[in-house]
């Protein structure tokens, strides 16, 4: 009997919901995250009905608020003393005009980078209670196509563009995944891995409500019929959550179940450290005591 516990953010639709259904069919206790209580309850019931698995739970939070992220982690830990798989799936492309959150952070960075960074930090202590803890960060090929970071302006106060912001955030999420893996290695944590993936272009509601500007909106509409189904998009998530083949893989980036290359154009230890420090600085008021740094951290 499978007694593993998975938490999936952004799981009321799209690839998050598809991954939740697939893992529920394998007997996982599945905790889905959503922003709206009524919708999240409805999706819980749909998953129970579709899979015959009653071990479906929910948690509600607005990931644009770091306080909500902290409350979400605390709520989870009050109910569960172990976490086997954390899937940081929630994310999104914002509109053509730059907006900030209640915390004063640019929205793309808040939901695609800072929320998964903080949630992971806050849940590390119970991930350590798993004999096979897995952190899965959903990135994007946009890190190759659209990223153009300015390391003196990580919040894009100048030169904001929704696709550039999204590409940057997804590139930085891969770097954070790599850095986490190195930290685990340096701290002698052998029972947790961290990997990232590109799910492919998927026909979901992702980005549909974003006003990207007339040209990009038109291109996105034309391309949608060519996209993967949510189930196809979720396949690599499910693979990374369950396969014995990747039990000891960490700090890697996967596409279609295979390890893939990461864009190297902007990478340096200095730039990775700038991103790590940006995340640490912007989440420090909400942090748990878990030490994410290692001696002589880059």
- Phi/psi for 240 (5° steps) reads -70, -25
Total residues belonging to the chain: 298
Q: Phi-psi region for residue 251, left (φ > 0), alpha (ψ -120 to 50) or beta? A: left
Distance, CA of 256 to CA of 248 (rounded, Å): 18
267 is catalytic: no
Instruction: For residue 15, give both structure tokens.
Output: 């690839």
Instruction: For residue 217, give both structure tokens.
Output: 């909106």
Annotate 142-191 with DSSP letters as a single string: HHHHT----TT-TT-SSS--HHHHHHHHHHHHHHHHHHHHHHHHHTT--S
Pair type for strands 85-88 and 5-8: parallel
Place of tokens 């749909």: 46
**Of residues 160, 166, 239, 267, which has the active-site annotation?**
166
Q: From the CB of residue 43, how many other CB atoms can be counted at a distance below 10 Å?
A: 22
Distance, CA of 114 to CA of 145 (rounded, Å): 21
Q: Which residues have a catalytic role annotated?
A: 166
């Amino acid at each position: 009997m499978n007694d593993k516990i998975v938490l999936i953010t952004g799981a009321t639709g799209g690839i998050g919901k598809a991954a939740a259904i697939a893992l529920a069919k394998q007997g996982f206790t599945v905790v889905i995250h959503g922003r709206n209580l009524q919708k999240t309850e409805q999706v819980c019931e749909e998953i129970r009905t579709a899979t015959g698995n009653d071990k479906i739970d929910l948690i509600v939070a607005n990931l644009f608020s770091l306080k909500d992220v902290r409350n979400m982690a605390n709520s989870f830990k009050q109910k569960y003393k172990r976490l086997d798989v954390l899937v940081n799936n929630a994310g999104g492309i914002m509109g053509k005009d730059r907006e900030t959150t209640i915390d004063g952070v640019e929205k793309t960075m808040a939901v695609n980078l800072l929320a998964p960074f903080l949630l992971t930090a806050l849940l590390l202590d119970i991930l350590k209670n798993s004999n096979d803890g897995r952190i899965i960060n959903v990135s994007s090929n946009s890190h190759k196509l659209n990223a153009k970071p300015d390391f003196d302006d990580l919040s894009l106060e100048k030169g904001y563009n929704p696709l550039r912001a999204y590409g940057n955030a997804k590139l930085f999420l891969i770097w954070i995944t790599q850095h986490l893996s190195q930290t685990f290695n340096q701290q002698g944590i052998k029972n947790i891995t961290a990997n990232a993936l590109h799910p492919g272009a998927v026909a979901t509601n992702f980005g549909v409500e974003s006003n990207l500007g007339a040209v990009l909106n038109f291109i996105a509409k034309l391309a949608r019929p060519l996209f993967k189904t949510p189930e196809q998009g979720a396949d690599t998530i499910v693979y990374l959550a369950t396969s014995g083949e990747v039990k000891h893989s960490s700090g890697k980036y996967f596409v279609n179940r295979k390890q893939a290359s990461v864009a190297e154009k902007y990478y340096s230890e200095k730039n990775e450290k700038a991103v790590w420090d940006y995340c640490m600085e912007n989440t420090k008021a909400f942090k748990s005591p878990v030490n994410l740094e290692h001696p002589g951290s880059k």
